[in-house]
Amino acid sequence: MERVSALRGVLPLLLFIRITFGVGLSAAEAPREVFLLPYEGLINPVSSELILTGIRRAGHARAEALIIQLDTPGGLDTSMRETVQGIIGSPVPVVVYIAPGGARAASAGVFITIAAHLAAMAPGTNIGAAHPVLLQGGEMDKEMKTKVENDAAAYIRSLAERRGRNVKWTEEAVRKSVSATEREAKTLGLIDFISPDLPTLLQQIDGRQVITSEGPVTLHTVGAAVKPIPMGFRLKVLRIISDPNVAYVLMLLGIYGLIFELSTPGSVLPGLVGAISLILAFYAFQTLPINYAGLLLILLSLALLLAEVKLQSFGLLGVGGIVAFLLGSLMLFPGEFPMLRVSLGVILPSVLLTAVFFLAIVGAAWKAQRRKPVTGAEALQGQIGIAKSNLDPEGQILVRGEIWEAEGFEAIHAGEKVRVLEIQGLKARVERVRD
């Protein structure tokens, strides 16, 4: 009995030791993960949502780090600031890796790189040219330019000071649009590593200590499993829609669909497709630097083309509509970045198809106006009929299966052929047909 009592007293202690050391062993044996998020393109709402989602997923998984493989020419200021705020508030170390060779981190990409806990560049890459510009094109007035520059310079200085990077160079990147290669960036203290590939980067950052939103963290990345974060279906669709060429085509489909629905009420399908296309186009316009003068020119061109169908201005309104359509398409998405403009390979076929479409409508309307009537009293003019009774001068005739009261200019006997000259009220005026 004493032995049993002793065992009962020891068992809870043994169980506690087992649970404690068992949990510790499991934690030590848990595989380490590094999340990889590749992104190429403009910094816009799609990119900011993708990066913020990656930060949350890495935080929930308690990953060793999140590596953002970046290649961007820049983008929207609001999306850049959302991304930077997400990086600063990340509980997981964020590493920005400018790769592969030939990639760049320009404009908004500089801010994101400087804000990262660690930064690396692949050989053959560059960083810089962060001077703020109007994506809509044109020039800011002097006072506004000074305000925007000062704001951007102060922002990037604060990020550089927070991460211990070269404050002077980052400010010059904003004010003077300076750029640097990967070697110059390493020498200037803008990045931490030059990494030819991802395995090398994982070795370089192993053992480094960084300060996250939850305090100091030491990275253990050697041997860690790399887990890519794919872009979800929703973000893929939004990214495709945000392309200027796609947004342009969606806008045209929306306008044509609504015009067809209004011209033939009850079709349903054209109106439905047009409404959906316009809504998607408006979403894309929020992420693109749209010029509203170009949009108004496109709407004006469609109004002129529709007026040509109704008014028959001998092509004058139609030509004006085509010219306005072309100019509006060229002006719709201005800016310094080619990827923010509609390709001529999309504009020219669209203009040509629009011109052909409306010219076909105009031609059909013109032919319809010149075509001889086939119904009504006007359709009887010139028709050949037969006298049902003697016309001396009045009587009845049979024409096109109908019996009409008729009046002749001369005496016409029943059974003779007559030609209808005109219709006056409910009486036809006819003449004898001589063989």
Q: Under a CB-based contact definition with an 8 Å cutoff, are residues 257 and 277 in contact? A: yes
Q: Measured between alpha carbons, how far apart are the two ends of the chain, in Å?
A: 141
Q: Say how far apart CA 195 and CA 205 lie, in whole Å.
A: 10
The token pair that represents 233 in the structure block: 């279906």
- Of 83, 79, 81, which is closest to residue 68 (Cα–Cα)? 83
Using DSSP, state whether 124 is helix, strand or coil. Answer: coil
Average pLDDT over residues 147-162: 93
Percent pLDDT > 70 in the chain is 82
Quote the longest CA-to-CA distance of the chain. Answer: 147
- Say which of 107, 277, 301, 350 is annotated catalytic: 107
Confidence bin at 364 (pLDDT 50/70/90): low
* pLDDT tens column, 309-359: 666 666 677 788 888 888 888 888 776 666 667 888 888 888 888 777 776
- Say which of 147, 176, 310, 427 is annotated catalytic: 147
In angstroms, what CA-CA distances link 255 with 272, 283, 343, 344, 363? 11, 15, 20, 20, 22
- Name 395's bridge partners: 406
* pLDDT tens column, 372-397: 655 556 667 778 888 888 887 788 88
- Of 130, 128, 131, which is closest to residue 145 (Cα–Cα)? 131
The answer to whether residue 147 is catalytic is yes
The answer to whether residue 367 is catalytic is no
